[in-house]
Amino acid sequence: MTTPLLGTSFIGYSRSNGTEPCGSAVQPGTGIKLEPRYLTATPEEVEQAMALAATAFPRYSNLSGKIRAGFLRAIASEIETVVDDIVERGQLETALPEPRLRGETARTCGQLRMFANLIEEGSWVDARIERADPERKPIPKVDLRSMLRPLGPVAVFCASNFPMAYSVAGGDTASALAAGCPVVVIAHASHPGVAEIVASAVIRAAQLTNMPEGVFSVLYGGGRKVGQAVVKHPVTQAVGFTGSRAGGTALMDTAANRKQPIPVYAEMSSVNPVVILPGALERGEEALAEAFFGSLTLGVGQFCTNPGLVFLPAGKGDAFLTKLKALIEAGTPGMMLNAGICNAFAESTAAFAAAEGVETLARSVTDAGPGQGAPAVFTVSISNFLGNEALQGEMFGPATLIVRGTVEEIEAAIPHLEGQLTASLHASESELLAHGSLVIALQNRAGRIIFNGFPTGVEVCNSMVHGGPFPSTSDGRSTSVGTMAIFRFCRAIAWQNFPDAALTAELQEANPLGIKRME
């Protein structure tokens, strides 16, 4: 079958007639293959999407922030016209409940509008003006003006665990389009139908706002085949990814080994350590256990910010553990996103349970059904923890490891942790002030540090940092949530001695956009 070319942009897939190799969404739990079936994009289709993106870049990147903002807002509005379709298909493909899918769709539209506001206001480009000084001694000073400009076409990989907010029109796409970069999306095999609905909404928005052809395309066929081809393609200038450490590091290798290496912004694995000090236990151990359990099991633990590692002072916290054990045992298994994630959860929890010195504190007394993940908590001494690197790994799902040691041992262990998206500290205010070096140690390992709270529930706003040292991300200088995400897809350019009329509006003497500049 031929690939439909939809006016302004492109969807690289075919609905299969059943005679060619193809993939379908698989309903979690039942294993039922959902119609329609989708064909892998051919090498010609990949080439077509890349050629369109290359052609779109000069025009799209030179549209004003106001016009690009109109495109982002139109995407949000078009998505809002198909929310019910997204929710219906999303439940079948991912087993996520309706409120979650509605909430995630609202977040997706909110993110698009947040970036629209940012680029309409315009000062994010960090315009700097240094005027010439011909009289300067010993040598005259040249006129230099600089600002951030888009990198070029960006490859975006959809995330299995965020079918909306980190997929076709999610945060990576929104920030790249906001920056002025065309986007080529690689759909995730877990939710191809949702991808199709959202991609169609983006393409309608592109047509309505008269965007250049090729500003957005979506390709089917997975990351290993089609995604690798897109990352290797010379037109691609950056990559946004959320998924496994193996997938993210494979893409980093591909990008680094290109003739022209390009940046990969991969969000991978994080266990989000939670450190509990005695002052927090004194406030109420049972309430703390309840709040922790809520964070651990939210969304069947399938969040990058899931708290998978806890440091609890040895000899304290008995009531916390007793309450947590009761909650875990009574906790019901939940349907996981796909069979791969479910199997990986079963394997990782089994490996933790069998590791030296690890004890199973509690498991749900209800057996997990097909496709389900059941809550589990393990404990280990700090020496066994530090002696086994594998215990720093991710159990992607509702499971956590509690490490017991003295407060001094806990503080000494923090610098040995891998990089994390978040670190949480539960303590009294006086403990917080008294343990400044612990706070700094946590800060050095994570992108967001939380006081007396839990890491799940990521606020989408200007100040959010959702990034962190490797392996939580491939580049700890960046964030994938919040408006600072736009900086991933830009580079600074300086113009020397350019006449005013030849400069972009942001750098012209009269400041026609009225934006804040460094002068």
**Which active-site residues does the annotation give?**
267, 304
Cα angle, residue 254 at apex, residues 250 and 125 outer, rounded to 5°: 105
Q: How many whole angstroms separate alpha carbon 422 and alpha carbon 450?
A: 7
Q: Specify the residue, 33 or 224, whose C-beta has the smaller distance to ligand NAP.
A: 224
Listing DSSP states for 212-244 in one string gives PTTSEEEE-S-IIIIIHHHHHSTT--EEEEES-
Residue of the chain from 15, 136, 224, 516 that contacts ligand NAP (CB under 6 A): 224
Q: Residue 69 is which amino acid?
A: A
Task: Assess whether the previous peptide bond of 28 is cis (omega < 30° from 0).
Answer: no
Q: Specify the residue, 111 or 269, whose C-beta has the smaller distance to ligand NAP.
A: 269
C-beta separation of 457 from 274 below 8 A: no
Pairing of strands 274-276, 420-426: parallel
> Which residue stretch of 31-39, 167-175, 244-252, 374-382 sits at the interface with ligand NAP (rule: CB under 6 A)?
244-252
103, two tokens: 């909430």
Q: Does 199 bind ligand NAP (CB under 6 A)?
A: no
Q: Specify the residue, 63 or 250, whose C-beta has the smaller distance to ligand NAP.
A: 250
Residues in Cβ contact with 139 at an 8 Å cutoff, skipping those fewer than 6 apart: none
Torsion angle, alpha carbons of 443, 475, 271, 26, to 10: 150
Closest CA to 490 of 51, 124, 59, 9: 124
Length of the chain: 519
Residue of the chain from 41, 177, 197, 251 that contacts ligand NAP (CB under 6 A): 251
Q: Does 227 bind ligand NAP (CB under 6 A)?
A: yes
Task: Assess whether the previous peptide bond of 36 is cis (omega < 30° from 0).
Answer: yes
Binding string, residues 267-286; x marks residues near ligand NAP by CB under 6 A? xxxx----------------
The CB-of-382 to ligand NAP minimum distance in angstroms stands at 24
Residue 56 CB-density burial (10 A; 0-12 exposed, 13-18 middle, 19+ buried): buried
Q: Specify the residue, 159 or 427, whose C-beta has the smaller distance to ligand NAP.
A: 159
> Which residue stretch of 39-47, 68-76, 217-225, 438-446 sits at the interface with ligand NAP (rule: CB under 6 A)?
217-225
Element (H, E) at 386: helix 382-386
Q: Specify the residue, 195 or 280, whose C-beta has the smaller distance to ligand NAP.
A: 195
Q: Does 250 bind ligand NAP (CB under 6 A)?
A: yes
Q: Specify the residue, 175 or 209, whose C-beta has the smaller distance to ligand NAP.
A: 175
Residue of the chain from 11, 101, 147, 186 that contacts ligand NAP (CB under 6 A): 186
Closest CA to 308 of 393, 367, 238, 380: 393
The CB-of-155 to ligand NAP minimum distance in angstroms stands at 10
Bridge partners of 34? Answer: 25
The CB-of-54 to ligand NAP minimum distance in angstroms stands at 22
Q: Does 455 bind ligand NAP (CB under 6 A)?
A: no
3-state secondary structure of 84: helix
C-beta separation of 360 from 376 below 8 A: yes
The CB-of-150 to ligand NAP minimum distance in angstroms stands at 24
Compute how many residues bind ligand NAP; rule: CB under 6 A. Answer: 29
Site residues (CB under 6 A) for ligand NAP, limited to 336-355: 340-341, 344
Strands of the sheet with 274-276, listed across from one edge: 359-363, 376-381, 399-405, 309-313, 274-276, 420-426, 446-451
Residue of the chain from 171, 243, 375, 398 that contacts ligand NAP (CB under 6 A): 243
Binding string, residues 145-184; x marks residues near ligand NAP by CB under 6 A? ------------x-xxx-----------------------
> Which residue stretch of 68-76, 140-148, 239-247, 321-329 sits at the interface with ligand NAP (rule: CB under 6 A)?
239-247
Task: Assess whether the previous peptide bond of 138 is cis (omega < 30° from 0).
Answer: yes
- Which residue number is nearest to ligand NAP in terms of Cβ? 223
Residue of the chain from 168, 274, 304, 312 that contacts ligand NAP (CB under 6 A): 304
Site residues (CB under 6 A) for ligand NAP, limited to 380-419: 394, 396
Q: Specify the residue, 37 or 188, whose C-beta has the smaller distance to ligand NAP.
A: 188
Closest CA to 377 of 356, 358, 357, 390: 358
The residue ranges that bind ligand NAP (CB under 6 A) are 157, 159-161, 186, 188-189, 222-224, 227-228, 242-244, 246-247, 250-251, 267-270, 304, 340-341, 344, 394, 396
